[in-house]
Amino acid sequence: MPIARLILEIEIAHAQSLKDRRQVTRSIKDRLRHAFNLAIAELDAAEIWNRATLGIVVISNSNSYLSGQLREIDQAAHRIASTLGAEIIDSWAEIMHEET
């Protein structure tokens, strides 16, 4: 069964504290969870206030469904980040297959 992952690198230019960073990351995570059936988590330590890395995982039986889902999630993440005054500076996706 294929598993897809999407990694998002986010720049939060206006963040002056850990609280500012968490507001943005929590909002992005909550909105994406609400819109899509996915698992999402922060992947980095919160040492740098104006940067964050989010990891997203989606699972399905269909590669084509996963590809489309990753595109939609990426586009939604860009829109959400933009409304929060943040920018996704890099994103990359990968579909992994179970080895038998």
Domain range spanning residue 89?
3-96
The number of helix segments (H) and strand segments (E) in the chain equals 2, 4
pLDDT digits (tens, 9 = 90+) for 36-91: 989 999 998 767 788 999 999 999 988 899 999 999 999 999 999 999 999 999 99
Dmax (CA) of the chain = 48
Give me the helix-helix angle, 63-83 and 18-35, nearest 10°. 140
Region label for 85, one of left (φ > 0), alpha (ψ between -120 and 50) or beta (otherwise) = left
Structure token pair of residue 66: 């996963």
CATH of the domain at 59: 3.30.70.1120
Q: For the chain, how many structural domains are there in total? A: 1
Single pTM value for the model: 0.88
The residue type of 69 is Q
